[in-house]
Amino acid sequence: MAKILFVMTGADQWTLADGSKHPTGFWAEEAVAPYRAFTAAGHEIVVATPGGVVPPLDKGSLAPELNGGQEAADAIAAELASITAIQQPIKLEEADLADYAVVFYPGGHGPMEDLAGNADSGRLLTAALESGKPLAVVCHAPAAMLAAKRADGSWPFAGYRLTGFTNAEETQAGFADKAQWLLQDRLVELGADFQEGEPWAPKVVVDRNLFTGQNPASSAPLAAEVLKALN
């Protein structure tokens, strides 16, 4: 059995380009599907957030039309409510990489607000990448990579093949013209080899020990790839 660290957002609002606040948090499927896969395989999950706040759920992620109907949405909500680790997070600033076999970042727009500028998260990401342990990041969570830097100031993810929520998906979601910045653009600007798949279709990219998923549908396939690496 391994211990897996879930690093999750503590932000319940996302600041848009006009200064207005949009309700946000973590995306349900991106936490629940990997949690389900990892715990079914016998692993233990510990959740960390900035300041140890309980990660807020993006209530939009429980919309019936995004979950295959009301019954499925209710099921994922019930499953989420049963995950005590999410209700009892540790402080991200006190998380010790040595205690974990895997680091996993669920998405949602929340990380665009807080983890994108969080130095503790940036240090953890850099250390995890350099450790060789599986580091998995999905959807909007690659925003946290923007805060990562080596001692010499270089960006540790430069040249890595990776994916994340695309400009096309942000446009179709209705936020591309409202956001302060777009995730795909920022990752490319920093030197990532960004791999763009079809909007909303599962896509997982593995480069060395970095595992990334493009969107919510990629959460379960991403977890499956991480489990292969653990085995």
Reported as a single tens digit per residue, the pLDDT across 186-202 is 999 999 999 999 999 99
Please tell me the predicted confidence (pLDDT) of residue 195: 98
3-state secondary structure 56-116: CECHHHHCHHHCCCHHHHHHHHHHHHCCHHHHCCEEHHHCCHHHCCEEEECCCCHHHHCHH
Decide the pairing of beta strands 90-91 and 210-213: unpaired
Cβ atoms within 10 Å of 172's Cβ, excluding its own: 12
Please tell me the predicted confidence (pLDDT) of residue 31: 98
User: Average pLDDT of 56-83?
Assistant: 94
Reported as a single tens digit per residue, the pLDDT across 98-116 is 999 999 999 999 999 999 9
DSSP state of 217: G
Average predicted confidence (pLDDT) for the chain: 97
3-class state of residue 194 by DSSP: strand
Asked whether residue 231 carries a pLDDT value surpassing 90, the answer given is no
Q: Which residues partner with 210 through β-bridges?
A: 135, 207
Reported as a single tens digit per residue, the pLDDT across 146-201 is 999 999 999 999 999 999 999 999 999 999 999 999 999 999 999 999 999 999 99
Residue 142: pLDDT band by 50, 70, 90 thresholds? very high
Reported as a single tens digit per residue, the pLDDT across 18-31 is 999 999 999 999 99
Residue 117: pLDDT band by 50, 70, 90 thresholds? very high
- Among residues 231, 229, 226, 197, the alpha carbon closest in space to that of 214 is found at 197
Please tell me the predicted confidence (pLDDT) of residue 183: 98
| Entry pTM | 0.97
- Among residues 63, 98, 95, 93, the alpha carbon closest in space to that of 77 is found at 63
Please tell me the predicted confidence (pLDDT) of residue 69: 94
Residue 128: pLDDT band by 50, 70, 90 thresholds? very high
- What number of helices (H) and strands (E) belong to the chain? 8, 11
